[in-house]
Amino acid sequence: MKSIFTLLLLFLVIGKGFAQEDAWVYLTDKSNVAASIANPISILSQKAIDRKQNHNVAIDERDVPVNETYISDLKLQTGITVMAKSKWFNAIHVRGTEEDINALSNLNYVDSIDFANQSLNTASRSASNLNKWEVENETIAFTYGDTQNQVEMINADNLHIADFTGEGITIAVMDAGFPNVNTMSAFQRLRDNSDLLNGYDFVDRNPDVYAFTGNNHGTKVLSTMAAFVQDQYVGTAPDASYYLFRTEDSGSENPVEESYWVEAAERADSLGVDLINTSLGYQTFDNPTYDYTPADMNGQVTYITKGASIAAEKGILVVVSAGNSGATSWQTVGAPADSPNVLSIGAVNADGNYVTFSSQGSAAQVGYQKPDVVARGGAAYVIDEFGGIVQNNGTSFSGPIMCGGIASLWQALPDALPTEIMDFVRQSASQYTTPDDFLGYGIPDLDLARSNALSLDEMEIEAFSFYPNPVATKLNIEIPSTENELKVSIYNQLGQEVMHQLVTEASNYINVSNLASGIYIIKLSTTNNSKTYKFIKSSN
């Protein structure tokens, strides 16, 4: 008996020693940083550079790729499998035994290691496991119909009537797979207009995002924005352009999917997308030692949430489904919907009433409101991979319904910054002055958001002015009569601030004679408003 016990103990020790762990390995530096930033076309697309310039977003070290020499060397380390990489975090997601991963700390280019199993770093976290697909996989009915209610609810139909259908706006969709999107008649219009752009499967590492990988979730999500069936179905942004990225492995739940998502967001940024839509959320995992807790949903803890916040810093408007945990013990929004820098979307039914599965805000989100707003996610109309129009529950569908509506709104307000669009959406919502943890600021009226923004824009245009343009030396600034001073910031074409100054009635000009000739962006800001313009600096 003693020998059997000893043998079992030996097996347990060996099993623990060879257990596979996931971890993020943070690197010390990157190569060719200064040269890459000075020549941004070498690391970003022209569309990405243009978007950053228009939004006053600086190109910085985070845009420079991870050092490939370090990645190659990590792949040679004993017992290590490289799963994903992130230029924003300068990090590599690896898999291996605890011993082999810890051994990486001896490499001179490794700065730190963060295990997904938090007990190997700090205090352990635990929460009950959830099936995040359970609510959404329940088909309520197989029926033909149209999307009138879910489009009208947010008043996107009036945007469409005004010919704002998302044209010129690019959306990256991160999801679990997009079977048959390349052949379905519901997306024929999208293909005919060359609006179905390429994509990538970050899970299987191949460009085919249309193969069936065990889940049709991405196809349904995309349909709420992009599908068009004559007299039967219209998405909220049928004329936007779409990149499709598979980042979710529906057969398992592992933190590596957070890393896949960040990789996809980085790819989206480099391609110059305007919006990211994701109907994914992360809370608990197959391995409970990796689990987050509701208290961790504070916008600061999870890898994916921090990645989503960086995407927002890079000038992308990130729209995230709040989650389907409202009726569970978890209850609060998941990651990355907990980021204060993204627009998190809850769900209501056809009558505009809260549906109990929609994840709620909580005390974990200190100083900011979650969800932000809501759209129809109760019995929403979606199209499955066989072209059937069905009704499904889920914030997975209220999120993209809203995202498409925002794309149409943004087409109407092309000069607006992402943060301004988010504010316009919130301010147009049904309970903006009395938000709560169920509906957030309520149901937006996107056509009202457009009207309010245009009215504000007209007032700003009247209030803010500068001359001459082009300018050689002295740029005169007119200050609104209601203000005592105006903050002026000037950025070059890389989004880098080159000048800043306060102007007053007594000193209402800027000397730009030291600037090189070229195109610059000027941002004029008061306490409550700001506006950006372009001007030309001519030779002295």
The rounded mean pLDDT for the chain is: 89
What pLDDT is stored for residue 463 in this prediction? 56
Q: How far apart are CA 134 and CA 170, in angstroms?
A: 30
β partners of residue 115: 23
Neighbours of 12 (CB within 10 A): 10
355 and 377 fall within a common domain? yes
What share of residues in the chain are helix, strand, coil (percent, to 5)?
A: 30, 25, 45
Single out the catalytic residue among 55, 63, 217, 239: 217
In a domain, 314, yes or no: yes
In a domain, 319, yes or no: yes
Could you please report the per-residue DSSP string of 135-146? TTT-EEEE----
Q: pLDDT tens, 459-500?
A: 554 456 788 888 889 998 887 777 788 888 888 766 678 899
In a domain, 418, yes or no: yes
379 and 411 fall within a common domain? yes
Single out the catalytic residue among 63, 100, 157, 175: 175
Is residue 217 among the annotated active site residues?
yes
**Per-residue confidence of the chain (540 residues) as pLDDT tens digits?**
444 434 443 444 444 456 899 999 999 999 999 999 999 999 999 999 999 888 888 899 999 999 999 999 999 999 999 999 999 999 999 999 999 999 999 999 999 999 999 889 854 454 545 666 666 665 443 232 578 999 999 999 989 888 899 999 999 999 998 999 999 999 999 999 999 998 999 999 999 999 988 899 999 999 999 999 988 999 999 999 999 999 999 889 999 999 999 999 999 999 999 999 999 999 999 999 999 999 999 999 999 999 999 999 999 999 999 999 999 999 999 999 999 999 999 999 999 999 999 999 999 999 999 999 999 999 999 999 999 999 999 999 999 999 999 999 999 999 899 999 999 999 999 999 999 999 999 999 999 999 888 776 555 544 567 888 888 899 988 877 777 888 888 887 666 788 999 998 888 899 998 988 887 888 888 766 677 777 888 876
281 and 302 fall within a common domain? yes
241 and 112 fall within a common domain? no
For residue 219, give the 3-state DSSP assignment: helix
What pLDDT is stored for residue 76 in this prediction? 96
Domain that holds residue 86: 18-120
Single out the catalytic residue among 223, 396, 408, 530: 396
How far out from the chain centre does Cα 512 lie? 37
Q: Which of 455, 473, 496 is the last residue of a domain?
A: 455
Q: pLDDT tens, 105-133?
A: 999 999 999 999 988 985 445 454 566 66
In a domain, 3, yes or no: no
Q: What CATH number should be reported for the domain holding residue 188?
A: 3.40.50.200
Q: Which of 455, 482, 513 is the last residue of a domain?
A: 455
430 and 483 fall within a common domain? no
446 and 416 fall within a common domain? yes
Residues in the chain, overall count: 540
What pLDDT is stored for residue 465 in this prediction? 76
Q: What CATH number should be reported for the domain holding residue 54?
A: 3.30.70
436 and 476 fall within a common domain? no
401 and 469 fall within a common domain? no
107 touches 73 (CB < 8 A): yes
What pLDDT is stored for residue 492 in this prediction? 79
106 and 182 fall within a common domain? no
What pLDDT is stored for residue 131 in this prediction? 67
Q: What CATH number should be reported for the domain holding residue 508?
A: 2.60.40.3080
In a domain, 494, yes or no: yes
Q: Return all residues near 381 (Cβ < 8 A) that are at least 6 apart.
A: 145, 146, 147, 150, 224, 233, 389, 390, 391
Sheet with 518-525, strands from edge to edge, namely 497-504, 485-491, 518-525, 530-537
Q: Which of 120, 154, 170 is the last residue of a domain?
A: 120
Q: Return all residues near 274 (Cβ < 8 A) that are at least 6 apart.
A: 51, 169, 170, 171, 316, 317, 407, 410, 418
For residue 239, give the 3-state DSSP assignment: coil
212 and 267 fall within a common domain? yes
What pLDDT is stored for residue 6 in this prediction? 40
What pLDDT is stored for residue 460 in this prediction? 52
Q: Which of 379, 371, 407, 147 is nearest to 274 (CA)?
A: 407
Neighbours of 340 (CB within 10 A): 18
Q: Which of 272, 275, 245, 315 is nearest to 40 (CA)?
A: 272
45 and 180 fall within a common domain? no
What pLDDT is stored for residue 453 in this prediction? 84
In a domain, 58, yes or no: yes
Longest dimension (CA), the chain: 95
In a domain, 12, yes or no: no
What pLDDT is stored for residue 464 in this prediction? 65
64 and 150 fall within a common domain? no
Q: Domain count of the chain? A: 3
In a domain, 35, yes or no: yes
